[in-house]
Amino acid sequence: MPRQAQDELAAIFLKQGAIMQVWRTNQVGGWQADITPIAPTVIFGQIQIPFTNISPLSILLNRILSSLVIPSLQDWLIAGLLLVIYGAIAIPFGWKFNFLQIQIWSANLLDQSLLVLRCLFTPAILEELIFRVFLLPHPTEIISWFNWVLWGIFSLLLFVVYHPLNAKTFFKKGLSTFFNLVFLSLAALLGIICTLAYALTGSLWVIVLIHWVVVVVWLIVFGGMEKFTDSSH
């Protein structure tokens, strides 16, 4: 049985309080400690972190596959609710500190459409894969909520720190904006919202939608593009 299927089956048994007995075929002839299962391929377990039994490639692949589940209606409702909550907090906060203002980007429809499409892939899909799907245990994984929250805090810190580092290295136009404390606060809030959405839905599509909508609305409606244009002069 593939590891992913075994983990999902074990999670179902655990949630229902049932007993699951696993028959290890490598121990059919009797217990012998030096006989251990061999990973079938390089991706599925042969490459491990030194001095551990952790196979990062296998874990990442399982997390990607688990996150691709099609969201239910309830999942989409959660996404909508969290977007409303984010907007209710972020807009007054950004407005108070003069970081957000109604400033529609004056580009033509083609340029706006290309920007919307680009934002889907980066930052939305790319950053959510790295900071949520890769770093956070999928909700179907068997892990205590305390440990899950610790991973959530760790991924959130990396998500926030990444922005000024990105401005220092690859995205010079974002230098002044990505070091702005109001921007970093709003980025942290977005990270919290996406982390909560992932914990509740386990879906990559839900957190990508939230991230995508927030970035596009900021860039086109709330003066985000103007900030990057001003920074480039």
The neighbouring-strand residues paired with 16 are: none
- The yes-or-no verdict on residue 117 having pLDDT over 90 is yes
Average pLDDT, the chain: 90
Q: Which pLDDT band holds residue 233 (cuts at 50, 70, 90)?
A: very low
Name the nearest CA neighbour of 114 among 102, 122, 125: 122
Q: What is the CA radius of gyration of the chain?
A: 22
- Please give the share of the chain, as a percent, with pLDDT higher than 70: 85
pLDDT higher for 104 or 16? Answer: 104
In whole angstroms, give the CA distance from residue 218 to residue 177. Answer: 13
Global model pTM greater than 0.75: yes
pLDDT digit string (tens) for 75-85?
999 999 999 99
In whole angstroms, give the CA distance from residue 141 to residue 11. Answer: 7
Name the nearest CA neighbour of 61 among 40, 75, 38, 78: 40
pLDDT higher for 105 or 9? Answer: 105
The residue ranges of every structural domain in the chain are: 3-66, 71-231
- 7, exposed or middle or buried, with CB in 10 Å at 0-12, 13-18, 19+? middle
pLDDT digit string (tens) for 30-65?
666 676 666 667 666 667 778 777 788 888 988 999
Residue 193: the pLDDT is: 99
- The yes-or-no verdict on residue 146 having pLDDT over 60 is yes
Q: Which pLDDT band holds residue 13 (cuts at 50, 70, 90)?
A: confident
* Side chain identity at residue 218, one-letter code: W
Residue 99: the pLDDT is: 97
In whole angstroms, give the CA distance from residue 138 to residue 140. Answer: 5
pLDDT higher for 32 or 2? Answer: 32
- The yes-or-no verdict on residue 26 having pLDDT over 60 is no
In whole angstroms, give the CA distance from residue 51 to residue 102. Answer: 54
8 A C-beta contact, residue 186 and residue 63: no
Residue 139: the pLDDT is: 92
- The yes-or-no verdict on residue 71 having pLDDT over 70 is yes
Q: Which pLDDT band holds residue 229 (cuts at 50, 70, 90)?
A: confident
- 102, exposed or middle or buried, with CB in 10 Å at 0-12, 13-18, 19+? exposed
pLDDT higher for 223 or 51? Answer: 223
Counting every residue, how long is the chain? Answer: 233
- The yes-or-no verdict on residue 224 having pLDDT over 90 is yes
Does a cis peptide bond (omega within 30 degrees of 0) precede residue 50?
no
Q: Which long-range contacts (CB under 8 A, 24 or more apart) does 211-214 make?
A: 211/123, 211/124, 211/127, 211/128, 212/119, 212/120, 212/124, 213/83, 214/83, 214/86, 214/90, 214/190
